[in-house]
Amino acid sequence: MLAIGFGHGGQAADPAAQPAATKDLILPGEVFSLGGKTAFVFTPAGSPAPAGTRPWILYSPTLPAYPDKAEQWMHEQFLAAGIAVAGIDTGESYGSPAAVTAAEALHAEMLRRGYAARPAVLGRSRGGLWASAWAIAHPELTAGVGGIYPVYDWRTYPGLEKAAPAYGLAPDALLARAAELCPIERIDVAANAGVPFCIIHGDVDTVVPLEPNSRRLKRRYEALGKGDLVTLIVPPGQGHSFWEGFFTCQELVDFLIERARAGAR
Closest CA to 75 of 65, 86, 61, 88: 86
Distance CA 171, CA 201 (A): 27
pLDDT digit of tens for each residue in the chain (265 aa)? Answer: 444 443 333 333 343 445 567 899 999 999 999 999 999 999 999 888 899 999 999 999 999 999 999 999 999 999 999 999 999 999 999 999 999 999 999 999 999 999 999 999 999 999 999 999 999 999 999 999 999 999 999 999 999 999 999 999 999 999 999 999 999 999 999 999 999 999 999 999 999 999 999 999 999 999 999 999 999 999 999 999 999 999 999 999 999 999 999 999 9
Q: What is the C-alpha radius of gyration for the chain, rounded to an integer number of angstroms? A: 17
Q: Residue 90 is which amino acid?
A: T
> pTM score > 0.85 for this model?
yes
Q: Are 202 and 211 in contact (CB under 8 A)?
A: no
How far, in Å, are 28, 109, 201, 202, 212 from residue 84 at the CA level?
11, 13, 24, 27, 31
CATH code at 157? 3.40.50.1820
Q: What are phi and psi of 201, to 5 degrees?
A: -155, 120
The total number of structural domains that make up the chain: 1
Helix (H) and strand (E) counts in the chain:
10, 10
Q: What phi and psi values does residue 225 have, to the nearest 5 degrees? A: 75, 20
Contact (CB, 8 A) for 187 and 222: no
Domain that holds residue 41: 2-263
